[in-house]
Amino acid sequence: MKRTTLLSLSLILVLCALGASCSARRPATSQTPVPPQMSAPTSGYQRISIPALPAFKPQQPKRIQLTNGMVIFLQEDHELPLIEGTARIRGGSVSEPAQKAGLVGLFGEVWRTGGTKSQTGDQMDDYLEVRAAKVETGDGPDSTTIGWSCLKSDQDDVFRVFVDLLMNPEFRTDKLDIAQQGDFDAISRRNDSAAGIAGREATRLAYGADNPYARMDEYATVGAVTHQDLLDWHHKYVHPNNMILGVTGDFDSAAMEAKLRTAFESWPKGPQAAKENIQFARAKPGYYLVPKDDVNQSNINMVALGTTRDNPDFYAINVFNEAFGGGFSSRLFNDIRTKRGLAYGVGGGIGANFGHPGILQIQAGTKSQSTIEAIRAVDEDIADLATHPVTEAEVKHAQDAILNAFVFRLDSPDKILGERMTYEFYGYPADWLDKYPAEIGKVTAADVNRVAAKYLHRDQMAVLVVGNPMEFDKPLSTLGPVKELDIAIPPPPGGDRSVNGGPAK
Amino acid sequence: MNRRFLCSLVLCLTAVLLSAAAAAQDLASFEKRITVKTLPNGLTLIVCERPEAPVFSFFTHVDAGSAQDPMGATGLAHMFEHMAFKGTDTIGTTNYPAEKAALAKVEIAYAAFRSERDKTLGPDPARLAELEKAWQDAIKDADQYVVSNEFGKIVEQNGGEDMNAFTNYDETGYHYSLPVNRLELWAYLESERFLHPVLREFYKERNVVIEERRLRTDSRPIGRLLEQFTEEAFAAHPYHRPTVGWMADLNSFSATDAQQFFDKYYVPSNMTVAVVGDVKTADVMPVLEKYFGRLPNAAKPEEPTTTEPPQNSQRAVTLKDRSQPLYLEGYHRPDYRSKDDAVYDAISDLMSEGRTSRLYRALVRDKKIAAFSAGFTGLPGSKYPHLFAFYAFPLPGHTTQEVGDAIHAEIDHLKKEDISDDELRMIHTRIKAGLIRGLADNQGLAIQLGTAQARYGDWRELFRSVDRVDKVTKADIRRVANQTFVENNRTVGIIETAAGDNAKQAAAASGGAQ
């Protein structure tokens, strides 16, 4: 967690420094080569012929399962003299105890910085940096990761460090302390940015504030994490039968397989990570306000619970999202941004994740003085779906966009490896992506309008505004009863200590 | 963009990392795969063959950024970048002759409105309302011919990936990727938008840009600080103005102003187009020539002539803001063509890169006073003399003064003692790795090759810059540190937490009132 925070802080600074500004904003979507079906030439671009895309059979990684349950994928890629590996291990922050929220974030950092029994993290830094190599660990809601990246010629040296860290981490307490201080800092800064508040609080409204996918680290919960907790976590989860290892780069698969078998075959099985049974409450509809008077733009997030990717409606949902809230062609972009000039960033859709429901979300950023106007404009666009259903032409356009861009899901060996590891992790069929284009192609306008009606209910959405209500065009309460969210940061236990100017209120 | 950065940790971990030995190897291999051609109209083309998958990416580099914004029209370079997605005389319109006439009327009506609004003695309210209505009516009239976002829709429908553009102080760039069977379609679209751009829906897009300013600058403490800081650090050079533009200018410039900017700077001699992917140079070069050769020849515009005068006293800005503290400082340095450019790169790496960096070890690991600290060059641009900057986020309970002092202690160390052999070796290895990171990616490669070609007139400088770092000595680092990092050459920017920080308390913050 902390690493991501720092990374984003420094990125923010560097990005601002560059003064970069971007004109388009297209959420990452998916997509496939499809025969061009250009209609009768009327203007210049339509006269240009589009040849068939050359046949392309992307190389699939080799899957190996060891007797101890460890799954390995090997994906050769000889473009550059590099080798990289990533292990994904079951068990993440949703499985940590609520009173120790932040434990897995600390684990993901201190696993690496705390070193091994034979080498401190600092010694490891020196050893790796002169080789421009990396061994890094990380954390997420349902897994932790450990990986390496190095020159082919350093593979043996670096892989040795990787294995040592995988099996014998020490989690030294001086590094735990640094990581905790970093988390305290991130907590103290979490109300500095309106966009940060909006993203976090929208997730809490969609999933429920106590849901493990939404809960926040606090001074008390981070402070409660001990060295023993990190050792215990490693002991509980880091076993071959909980792990998927993917290796890509400039190697010979047979030789690599032999090396990995030598390293891991004799590693005994451990207890299987339990699958979490997490309840997702429906969002409580209504209007929610976080007043922030140092901004001149309102962050509007309208949310409800989304779905998972194994839902048979997933493909129709994808097409709907593209047509309604995706790119340049979408209804929201065309109406809210282009026609009304109300927002720079606007978009959304019915979110679908692999392992747990995504968030159905529509977002827009608009000046304080058009806050209510923008919410009403989004409302109209949603209501319009009933009176003006998504047309055949819109569906065709969305399908073309998705299918013609599908090749970008497969255009490098490491992307394909990443996809396969994801399906393996979440128990999806190995050929899940192969079926994707055909499934998208089958979606009809009736399907799209059916999923819109099934999932997108304006009256079931929670509407969050983070902004300066003194400058709104009308009070938010003209739309309905408003609940003001308390985002005050609970102070560190014992009233202490070193938090600048007291905890931000 | 943010969603991309917050990619899964798994993906972050697999980020490509490269090394020393690869660099030379690759220069030779790139020599074989890259062709550069300058067309008779002055436009430069670069084609790089990378047959990994049936796709390609491009990068169009225009050698004009916000440093070229005219006085009173800050934000214009960025505004034009938005307009480049609005189509042409055949894309985005149902009837161009009628639309053209209607757009001309919008400009006349806007000029009348603006002139009344900006009268020295104040506008006549009734007259102003009348003129505003006439202007809005003219817009409505023009809008009836618009096919909104047709340009972007065509790209999307054909599988366009990561369609975007950026404007910074130094340049403007456009890029996306397509399946390789769409190469000719792309060459048509990309040349057409700079051959026959139509600045339709200008005033609505201006509102979108104003929202972008609110998002990036006004409503973010760090955005507010950087704008004030840059303004303080540069007295004369256009680097003192924000790329996105001052609010008053954004509410003032017209489509006519943007068209004039385009006419002056979007000329072939000022443009470089790079294509990377599964292409055969012999096949695609004639296609590129056919389409991009149509752009009319024109003289390369003159560079701004102002030179930032030497700074002779420390400057500082302090924002008492609704935010936890931040410390930032910058020192003037010469532009990217300086013989010491590689020395600054080496210093940046030494001070900032990874857990072995001096600032991490001193401020985060040992003194435990900062959550993060680093130094970097290129603030706010690098084409003209600019700043080398250091920053730190103080940990709770620690002050900007403490982290500033700790940064200065590290700078003193750099001035007084040679760096170690190990450090020098580490810098060399890492800079090579850093450079080549991204070379295994069509879009990254197109951007890097296009930029190097435009900046130095030779894409090979991308690789030579690594050789220059190899030649950096310990003495160079001490010399440049002693020369640059001195108090009189310093501008400090600080965010201090405003007293009584309470969400409900009105504290009319800087951006809000504009």
Residues of A in contact with B378 (CB under 8 A): 17-18
Residues of A in contact with B328 (CB under 8 A): 13
- Of A316, A309, A352, A326, whose CA–CA distance to A440 is shortest? A316
pLDDT at residue A371 in the model:
98
Distance from CA of B273 to the nearest CA of A (A): 19
Sign of CA dihedral B407, B408, B409, B410: positive
Q: For testing the chain A interface, which of B208, B294, B382 should be mutated: the one with the most A CBs within 10 Å?
A: B208
Average pLDDT over residues B38-67: 97
Whether the bond into B70 is cis, omega within 30 of 0: no
Checking if the pLDDT of B227 tops 90, the result is yes
Determine, for residues A8 and B5 on separate chains, whether the beta-carbon distance falls below 8 Å.
yes
Determine, for residues A329 and B157 on separate chains, whether the beta-carbon distance falls below 8 Å.
yes
* DSSP letter string, A303-315: EEE-EETTSTTHH
Q: Nearest-CA residue of chain A relative to B244?
A: A21
pLDDT at residue B158 in the model:
97
Q: Note the pTM of the prediction, 2 decimals.
A: 0.91
pLDDT at residue A23 in the model:
41
Q: For testing the chain B interface, which of A15, A173, A290, A296 should be mutated: the one with the most B CBs within 10 Å?
A: A296
Q: Which residue has the tokens 């968030």?
A: A359
pLDDT at residue B89 in the model:
96
Determine, for residues A122 and B82 on separate chains, whether the beta-carbon distance falls below 8 Å.
no
Each residue of A419-463: pLDDT tens digit?
999 999 999 999 999 999 999 999 999 999 999 999 999 999 999
Average pLDDT over residues B242-271: 98
Average pLDDT value over all residues in chain A? 90
Single-letter code of the amino acid located at A140:
G
Determine, for residues A56 and B379 on separate chains, whether the beta-carbon distance falls below 8 Å.
no
List the beta bridge partners of residue A483: A288
pLDDT at residue B431 in the model:
87
Q: Is B492 left (phi over 0), alpha (psi -120 to 50) or beta?
A: beta
Sign of CA dihedral B418, B423, B424, B425: positive
Cβ within 8 Å of residue A9, ≥6 positions away: A189, B371, B372, B393
CA–CA distance, A112 with B9 (Å, rounded to integer)? 14
> Which of residues B16 and A225 earns the better pLDDT score?
A225
CA–CA distance, B186 with B178 (Å, rounded to integer)? 8
pLDDT at residue A242 in the model:
98
* pLDDT > 90 fraction of chain B, expressed in percent and rounded: 86
The CA-based dihedral angle spanning residues B2, B5, B7, B12, taken in that order and rounded to the nearest 10 degrees = -170
Q: Nearest-CA residue of chain A relative to B50?
A: A79
Distance from CA of B163 to the nearest CA of A (A): 7
Spatial contact of B381 and B233, defined as CB atoms under 8 Å apart: no
CB pairs under 8 A between A and B: 403
Checking if the pLDDT of A356 tops 90, the result is yes
CA–CA distance, B389 with B359 (Å, rounded to integer)? 13
pLDDT at residue A496 in the model:
54
- Please state the ipTM of this predicted complex: 0.89
Per-residue pLDDT band for A19 (boundaries 50, 70, 90) equals very low
Each residue of B237-251: pLDDT tens digit?
999 999 999 999 999
- Of B52, B61, B145, B131, whose CA–CA distance to B97 is shortest? B145
Average pLDDT over residues A281-289: 93
Average pLDDT over residues B157-166: 95
In the structure encoding, which two tokens stand for residue A84, read together?
A: 């990289």
Per-residue pLDDT band for A349 (boundaries 50, 70, 90) equals very high
pLDDT at residue B437 in the model:
66
Single-letter code of the amino acid located at B27:
L
Checking if the pLDDT of B12 tops 80, the result is no
Each residue of B201-222: pLDDT tens digit?
999 999 999 999 999 999 999 9
Checking if the pLDDT of B162 tops 50, the result is yes
Residues of A in contact with B506 (CB under 8 A): 293, 470
Each residue of A98-146: pLDDT tens digit?
999 999 999 999 999 999 999 999 999 999 999 999 999 999 999 999 9
pLDDT at residue B503 in the model:
40
In this complex, the residue of B3, B179, B512 whose CB is nearest that of residue A404 is B179
Average pLDDT over residues B278-285: 97
* DSSP letter string, B370-423: EEEEEEEEEES-SSSSEEEEEEEEEPTT--HHHHHHHHHHHHHHHHHSPPPHHH
Spatial contact of B265 and B64, defined as CB atoms under 8 Å apart: yes
Determine, for residues B153 and A51 on separate chains, whether the beta-carbon distance falls below 8 Å.
no
In the structure encoding, which two tokens stand for residue A248, read together?
A: 């890509």
Average pLDDT value over all residues in chain B? 91
> Which of residues B351 and A26 earns the better pLDDT score?
B351
pLDDT at residue A158 in the model:
97
List the beta bridge partners of residue B60: B174, B273
Determine, for residues B152 and A328 on separate chains, whether the beta-carbon distance falls below 8 Å.
yes
Checking if the pLDDT of A388 tops 90, the result is yes
Determine, for residues A31 and B179 on separate chains, whether the beta-carbon distance falls below 8 Å.
no
pLDDT at residue B507 in the model:
34
Distance from CA of B326 to the nearest CA of A (A): 11
Each residue of A206-243: pLDDT tens digit?
999 999 999 999 999 999 999 999 999 999 999 999 99
Distance from CA of A334 to the nearest CA of B (A): 7
> Which of residues A24 and A505 earns the better pLDDT score?
A24
